[in-house]
A and B are shown apart, each in its own frame.
Chain A
Amino acid sequence: MNGILKLAYKLLVNDKAKFTALLVGITFAVFLIIQMTAMFAGTMKRASATVLNLGALVWVMDPAVQTVANTIGMPDYVLDAVRSMQGVSYAVPIYSGGALLKLADGTYQAATVIGLDDATLFGRPQLIQGKIEDIYGENAFIVVKDPEFRKLQNPGIGSEFQVNDHRGVIVGLATVPSSGLFGVPTLYTTYQRALQYLPNPRFTVSYVLVEPRSPANIPNIKRQVQAIGYLAVTRDEFVDRITNFYVYQTGMGTNLLIMTAMSFIVGLSISGQTFYTFVLENLDKFGALKAMGMKSRELIFMILFQTSFTALTGYGLGIGMCALLIRLARLKLPDYAALITYWNLSIAFSLVVVIAAVSSYFGLRKVLRIEPFEIFRG
């Protein structure tokens, strides 16, 4: 069969114009599909950045919370109640809120402030400069060195700023797995300092981070939290909750679906039509092959190989182009939120398989119907 494959390969790639058109169609479709879904995946990862960065297994929150950014403060007794629940190893409060920083040159910059539990500093970031214990120092803040860092005018240890008329001092630079969605720098401080420095509503606990004694305790903890009128979700469930919010309650999901569908239709139209034309132009040759003794299953194999080869090559090129674009974009926009995941690769692959299958189907229908006798009749 190798010889037949090589024959199919040569018949395909030696027709440079058609092969290029086929590749362009599939590559372009894959590029668009992956780019769209990568943007979505990147945005969703950013939207869940705080959840991923803090790393708690179980999160307790007000049931109305849809995303990690729109916190609804809970009274302190919730923390006490959770700490006393069966199956809870420990629970800590976390503060998450926005602040307006006045920088050294007098300009203002919005930032996210995370207030870590004073006793445990649970969820602390990994420091790349400074010492974590310095967070207990007077007016101390740790800044995350991510693409938004420069918006604070690239502060170093000892840099000062004002927040809500309080003095703030950078005591450490840190790194986190994921930057936030909203393009603002992130500062870490202690929970108490966050409450003290930032204007707050009556209830101040943004989330209670829970470490269960074992994963088997999680359902029970959820039930107990629900009994006091709040919601407990695992980290993954919280990420899903955030994703669902953006997919179903904003236009993002619909837009993604429309763009993916359009990319698919463009790819299918170009590739399907070009492959069909390729088959039509070679129909007499396929008939001649049949007359010479090629079996129908060998013809099917040949055509499937041609479409699969084109589809896979286009798929690879599309991924490569998308990766290159993301790379180039990040040279100018370090915060460019696009993330190629197995999930979006799989979606693109599935759609490419459909494009190849549909193209093959119409080509095969024509080829299998050609009678070798027609070749003699001219």
Chain B
Amino acid sequence: MSAIYTVEHLTKTFGHGKAAVHAVEDVSFDLAAGGITVIVGESGSGKSTVARMLLGLLPVTSGRLVFQDKDVTHLKGHARTAYWRDVQAVFQDPFSSFNQFFTVGTLLSRSVRLVGRDVGKQRLEESLGHVGMDLSVLDRYPHQLSGGQRQRVMIARALMMRPKLLIADEATSMLDASLRVNILNVLKDLRDELGMTILFITHDIGQACYLADRILVMENGAMIEQGPTDEVIFNPQHEYTKRLLADVPKLHTAIELGDLHESVETP
């Protein structure tokens, strides 16, 4: 599979001099077209910063972003709007993405206007279909929907643009386990049925393992390991990945609890 997106030596530094925080340092990777890539990392690893830079929501300190052979590192104005037609996002908390006084229909009508009214109506039905919903949801208010339904509406909204790349940043973290699987299945179906490229960001290795074709592991702003899911999860090379996998609580095997005073952690 060819790469639809190439990230070269991406770096983000917040602040200057002594107070500088290197949130992302020299990160390079490719996103294969029609595949699901998952970035795994713990809080503060820089995974969301990478997502925000790819989305053009945060200026890049140095490095290059190439989407479909075009340099998209520093986009402005119309070029940026055009870029957002191809690259869409879904975030962690679906409730905060809604205006609580608007129905789902009002919310989605903005996307309808963007693609034109006639095509929009048709796309609306199609997008809701992809996430397993129908037009009856349009009359509902956000508080009348469950967390899983809200997140599916947000995915439908992103799909209205028929993006080539969908970036989902902790999109399932606030959902109950049973609903979570449904959302992950929706993403898998988008890959299989529409050939969509997906970049999924999570701290949960279990989800990464279920969803990913390829896994990237981040720690302290650096990309420390990347490869096909089977290799990263079942034959990790880097010490950090090994430790992370050893610490993940599993359902069918008890993890080993060591001596409390020997446990190491970053301050």
Are A and B a genuine interacting pair, yes or no? no
Interface residues of B (CB under 8 A from A): none
